[in-house]
A and B are shown apart, each in its own frame.
Chain A
Amino acid sequence: MDDLLAEFLTETNESMDVLDVELVKLEQNPNDPELLGNIFRLVHTVKGTCGFLGLPRLEAVAHASENVLGRVREGLLEVSPYAISLVLQSLDQIKSICGELEQTEQEPAGDDSELIAELNVLAEGGAGAAAAPVEAAADPVEAEPDAAMADSGDDVSGNGAIDDGGGFPVAAELLAEYEEATGGQPNGAAVPAPEQAAPEPAAPEPAVGGVPGSLFERLGGQAAIDAVLGLLHEKILADASLAPLFEGIELDQFKLQHSIFFAQVFGGEANYDGPDLATIHAGLAAKGMTEAHFDAVAGYLKASLEGLGVAEAIVGEVLAIVGSTRDEVLKEVEPQAAVAKKPGKPKAAPVEAGPAKEKSVSAQSIRVNVDVLENLMTMVSELVLTRNQLMQIQRAHENSDDFAAPLQTLNHIVSELQEGVMQTRMQPIGNAWSKLPRIIRDLSLELGKKIDLQMLGQETELDRQVLELIRDPLTHMVRNSADHAIEDPPERRAAGKPETGVVTLNAFHEGGHIIIQVKDDGRGLAVEKIKDKILANELASEAELEGLSDSQIQQFIFKAGFSTAAKVTSVSGRGVGMDVVRTNIEKIGGTIELKSVEGKGTAFTIKIPLTLAIVSALIVECAGDRFAIPQISVLELVRSSHQSETRIEMVKDAPVLRLRERLLPLVSLREMLRLEGVSVAPQEATDETDESGTDESGTNESGANEGGVVEAVSDDSFIVVTQVGAHSFGIIVDRVFDTEEIVVKPVAPMLRDIQLFSGNTILGDGSVIMILDPNGIAAGNGEMSLSESALEEQKSVQSADAQERVAMLIFRAAGESPKAVPLALIARLEEFEIETIEHANTRAMVQYRGQLMPLVFFDESQSLRESGRQPVLVFTDNDRAMGLVVDEIVDIIEIELAINISSERVGTVGSAIIANKATDVIDAGYYLTKAFPDWFKNHGNEAFGDSSDRRVLLVDDSAFFRNMITPLLQVAGYDVTTADSATQALEMCEAGATFDIIISDIEMPGMSGFEFAEKIRSEGAWKEVPVVALSSHTAPKDLDRGREVGFTDYVGKFDRDALLQSISETLALGRGAA
């Protein structure tokens, strides 16, 4: 394609996108001149460029809409939805023409006259309504009527220009004709205003009775005028002093304008609506036309007329008319700046100077072909991989110190380079949203709704590629929200909501991901309707639905086959189901969540990776081949063997695993990939299990026995627990290696049909590896039935609702009875070789991470093992760590809390029934002070600054939690007061106690946390005290409710880091504000 054309198309498409947004904005703020100016400029540029490239159809459309905008800019036309719609419609037309232009490189044939006519009517109608005299004469097709011109009529009379022409024998009727034509008013003349004159042009001629034909006829008609102008132009061009003025002016058009002007004015055309002379000559004046020039031209005109044998009287008439324009033509010289900005002719000033600010920005950015960036990215990725290889080699040859320093430098440079190149691919997410305001606007007009689209975090950046892929799903969702979710104004009023519905888009970064929320305050998902549809489409039976919660039923909208539309591959418009949205989001490794409250609204939360280019992947081995599994879909790793409790069981031919009381369906990678060959027995221990297992989800025995030597049993296998959408399954592999950052590359075209692979990559050691696609695996195994896993999910959800669940670590120490401690309190589970345990000053110590860590025993009866490895629970707090010696780590169990408090024994919080056994729940705080008597004192100051003088009120009905959280907070150096109910806390308030922050449980008997927060927010001394909610389930629903009632923040009960962070942030905020 022609470079120029390609550039034009790119630019025009960009302009169109901007225009869509700006026009909708304009509709909301009709009086923003800057906005209008920008819109006008963009349309004008498009028009100008079209003209330049010879695209008449585009130019005509652009021109017509520019006219309308021009009117608006002059204040002659109100910004109305109709006007905006019409202009938007013309933009659509331009887009569609551009679309074809891109395909064919030819401007397609077609007729836009209807649209243009409508636009023109609008422009003219606006002029009529404004009732300014000169506007009637303004040209809807050609000129940019500007302020200077609007004044022209008055100038003529004011300056007495007509009288100046009095040197010539001026015929009264000629003057009258001219006045009518230009709409000017001579001083005190009885000539009616043009709008009155228009219908009856010849009526009020005062002086002369029989008009001997108009001047036009007397001159000799059109042919004579053309001849005169031809002569005149020749003469003008021959004059060296005049020639520069005409540089860059298209003479033919110029001549034509003159010709029309003369013909019509002389011909007595009363409502002449072409540009007047001042406008035609505006460009000349801008170029520095002086009186001398004008006179010279007038002289040439006279000569031309005479040369053609025109009677002297007539010559005089003509010159009088021309002379009358002299002042206004020359007057243009002064407001030159203004004139230069207004494009009198498309050619004269096709591109307007934008605001200076914009210019400087554009000077700092350049357009780069995406391919160039992609290539650069590939190269950098290779460089990273090569660097990794080098580093590996260097590690293998430790004595080669010579290389260490340069390698280190290389390492840094490459990292920065990588970051820099990644940056070039980043684009603000607002780019993907640019079409949305327009869509919402059109929809709201079409549907008669009032919708406000709020877009937050538009500047959030993400990878270009991701952006492209997210664009359509987002558009679809927003459209859905506006179309289906937001109610009509009457319906909203009836529901007690404001008439205007709000659709909110919010984007922000969170932990290497982008979170995008699409939220509306519409009617929410109607569970009953969804149920009907589920049944109608036979997605589930009535009995199955019975057992599902509302939110689970709502999840069905993501299910393929829910939408009535047939499966469509690309999200193109309405009728495409949410399943496609979900599929598209999952394709880029994202997730989508839904929550909806009937009558209140719906919120979707999309989580997508920042970039697709580099992902973290788990490397596994199966039948001697290695494969990568994207880490984002890996939940945990489980090692299974015949000996251990976690072993693969078969139901008929389907392998399953019992995982925390649930049956996890398994797929064998070997079978899926039809890999033959003998299983390679694991040669060495891998402790990867710990990394993604225990730390995150607190899992299985093999994880807890971290560091234990894995026996080389051939039937040992690893299960990668993977989550796809709402359901999880396990992938059986032979071995698990490291996780590695990989650069995803698409597979060769001939391999794209293999669903199981999402790409391939080159590992640090240079070998090629295939990347498994968990979605493909799930799909390849038929439907990993949603209802099945949904039921499981539901069970856990229900029980969580009924009772708070806590992950407890069960262990044995000092006696046979099992003991338990909340897993959240433990930093790590370690095993130390007995030999490494040292004794100093009668206390057992061990070197741990460069420090001496004291080991604490439960009581005197307990002792270290004779040999082998000693399991230890490690508690850490910033720079110090304490190890609690245990005999055996038994299990990690999620239990419902049913603790019978007993404070008889020191070091225990109480006892609970866990796994049908009475279990002591230990008081971690007690043992912490045993290791460091000052654990809860002083040092907090160092770590958390002046937090020690911060008073915290902890409100929780459960003594267990009060006991668990209090030491946590004390460790952090806060002064903690507890209350066992909201009522007690309120009593404290009345008693005049003051706190810096209140932490409150949500689920409490009597007054709930929500009510409590509402209460203290509404009145009393604690009105300003920040309140952090504490709950065992941080469902987004609760989160919102919490914010509504006035909680400052909302944290999970077992997330101690989040709690501490939230407290310190909240306090810091308060301090900052105070």
Chain B
Amino acid sequence: MTTELETEVEPGKAAHANGSEDFVTMTISGQLFGIPVLSVQDVLGPQKITRIPLAPPEVAGALNLRGRIVTAIDVRSRLGLAPGNDSANNMSVVVDVDGELYSLMVDAVGEVLSMPADAYQPNPPTLDTAWRDVSAGIFQLDGQLLVVLDVNRLLASTERTAA
């Protein structure tokens, strides 16, 4: 199953010649997160989501994206955060992992930032384990920190939880 949007480039490998990398930023509970731009397929506004009973708690449900069924992941729940109070206006970032589409539900989606590779820092050892699992590292921005999400791990560990 492929769509015209699928790229041959592996997520996270979109390094520019000058050593910088582009990230789509998003916020959950005020925290800034980033996903490599090339792994992002779509950015969606609030969607009609079908609940999936018996699914792991972080699976919010499934939605129809132009005829494809996309599994919606509640990133909040995945990161062990309390449910947001304005879930009606949630936005989502759709990523493609091994041909399957997942919609990561976040509070808001921001801009695309180009980050120099040398601004990259490994996870601090004190980081919450749930976060450490899914964080590929941290970028220091002016005034705030950008946590880079490792989409594969984010979803893979979900599977483990489910199993």
Q: Which residues of A contact B (CB under 8 A)?
A: 374-375, 378, 381-382, 385-386, 625-626, 673-675, 745, 748-751, 753-754, 756-757, 760-762, 766-770
Contacts and interface: CB of A to CB of B under 8 A. Distances in A.
Contact of A674 (B48, B53, B98): B53
A625 B51 contact: yes
Contacts of B61: 768
Nearest to B158: A750
A768 B158 contact: no
Q: Which 7 A-B pairs have the closest CB atoms?
A: A673-B53, A382-B67, A748-B71, A768-B50, A768-B62, A750-B159, A754-B54
A769 to B, nearest CB: 6
Contacts of B158: 750
B53 to A, nearest CB: 4
Given A374-B1, A751-B52, A768-B49, 5 more contacts: A749-B159, A750-B158, A754-B55, A756-B53, A769-B50
A757 B55 CA distance: 11
Given A748-B102, A749-B159, A750-B59, A762 B53 contact: no
Contacts of B55: 750-751, 754
Contact of A385 (B49, B54, B67, B100): B67
Q: Would you call the interface of chain A mostly helix, strand, loop, or mixed? A: mixed
Contacts of B102: 748
Contacts of A770: 50, 52-53, 62
Contact of A762 (B51, B54, B56, B64): B64
Contact of B69 (A386, A674, A750, A762): A762
Interface of B: 1-2, 48-56, 59, 61-64, 66-67, 69, 71, 98, 100, 102, 155, 158-159, 162-163
Contact of B71 (A381, A382, A750): A750
Contacts of A626: 50
A375 B162 CA distance: 29
Contact of A748 (B1, B53, B64, B100): B100
Contact of A751 (B49, B63, B71): B71
A756 B62 CA distance: 16
A792 B66 CA distance: 48
A627 to B, nearest CB: 9
Contacts of B98: 749
Contacts of B159: 749-750
Nearest to A748: B71
B163 to A, nearest CB: 6
A854 to B, nearest CB: 50
Contacts of B100: 748-749
B64 A745 contact: no
B159 to A, nearest CB: 4
B154 to A, nearest CB: 11
Contacts of B49: 768
Contacts of A767: 48, 50, 64
A753 B64 contact: no
Contacts of A757: 52
Contact of B63 (A381, A753, A768): A768
B63 to A, nearest CB: 6
A760 B62 CA distance: 9
Nearest to A766: B64
Contacts of A766: 64
A375 B1 contact: yes
A750 B56 contact: yes
Given A748-B102, A753-B163, A386 B62 contact: no
B67 A386 contact: yes
Contacts of A750: 55-56, 59, 71, 155, 158-159, 162
A751 B69 contact: no
A760 B53 contact: no
Contacts of A754: 52, 54-55
Contacts of B52: 751, 754, 757, 770
A378 B68 CA distance: 9
A626 B48 CA distance: 13
B97 to A, nearest CB: 9
A375 B1 CA distance: 6
A749 B100 CA distance: 8
Given A766-B64, A770-B52, A753 B69 contact: no
Nearest to A673: B53
Contacts of A674: 53-54
Contacts of B155: 750
A503 B52 CA distance: 47
9 contacts: A745-B69, A750-B56, A754-B55, A762-B64, A762-B69, A767-B48, A768-B50, A768-B62, A770-B52
A732 to B, nearest CB: 15
B136 to A, nearest CB: 20
Contact of B67 (A625, A673, A762, A769): A762
A370 to B, nearest CB: 12
Contacts of A375: 1-2
A769 B51 CA distance: 9
Contacts of A382: 66-67
Contacts of B163: 753
A738 B53 CA distance: 22
A454 B42 CA distance: 55
B68 to A, nearest CB: 8
Nearest to A381: B67
Q: Which of B48, B55, B100, B102 has the most CB of A within 10 A?
A: B55
B64 A768 contact: yes
A375 B49 CA distance: 25
Contacts of A381: 67
Contacts of B62: 748, 760, 768, 770
A756 B54 CA distance: 9
Contacts of A753: 162-163
Contacts of B1: 374-375, 378
A674 B51 CA distance: 12
A762 B67 CA distance: 7
B6 to A, nearest CB: 11
A850 B51 CA distance: 44
Q: Which of A381, A760, A761 has the most CB of B within 10 A?
A: A760
A386 B66 CA distance: 10
B46 to A, nearest CB: 15
A96 B55 CA distance: 42
Contacts of B66: 382
Contacts of A673: 53-54
A385 B163 CA distance: 33
Contacts of A675: 53
Contacts of A768: 49-50, 61-64, 69
A382 B162 CA distance: 30
A625 B71 contact: no
A596 to B, nearest CB: 40
Given A375-B1, A375-B2, A762-B69, A751 B53 contact: no
Contacts of B59: 750-751
Given A675-B53, A750-B159, A760 B48 contact: no
A282 B60 CA distance: 75
B70 to A, nearest CB: 8
Contact of B162 (A751, A760, A761): A751
A754 B159 CA distance: 12
Contacts of B69: 745, 748, 760-762, 768
Nearest to B67: A382
Q: Which of A375, A674, A756, A768 has the most CB of B within 10 A?
A: A768
